[in-house]
Amino acid sequence: MSETVSDLKVIPLTGTKNGVISVAKIEEPYGGDSNTVASIGISLAGDANNPEWKVHIPLQNLNEVIAALQAIK
């Protein structure tokens, strides 16, 4: 894979001792022809680079996902 990770933000995960939420932009996450995604990860161990759970959201869907998250806030 030729993925490039940029704009990594790490947020403390409320309700945990060491947990973090990591948010990053990943270019070519699945190889040279794949589209850029926003990656959101959760690590209870505090390792932002190796989250236990993660989701990749295509940048084309990001505005809709942000709106949905704002709506449930």
Give per-residue pLDDT as tens, 16-51.
Answer: 999 999 999 999 999 888 999 999 999 999 999 999
Taking the model in full, what pTM does it have?
0.86
**Mean pLDDT, the chain, whole residue set:** 94
Range of the domain at 60: 4-72
Over residues 46-65, the pLDDT tens digits come to 999 999 999 999 999 999 99
Q: How many domains does the chain have?
A: 1
Distance CA 20, CA 10 (A): 6
pLDDT beyond 60 at 72: yes
Question: What is the spatial order of strands in the sheet that 37-43 belongs to?
Answer: 4-12, 20-27, 37-43, 53-58
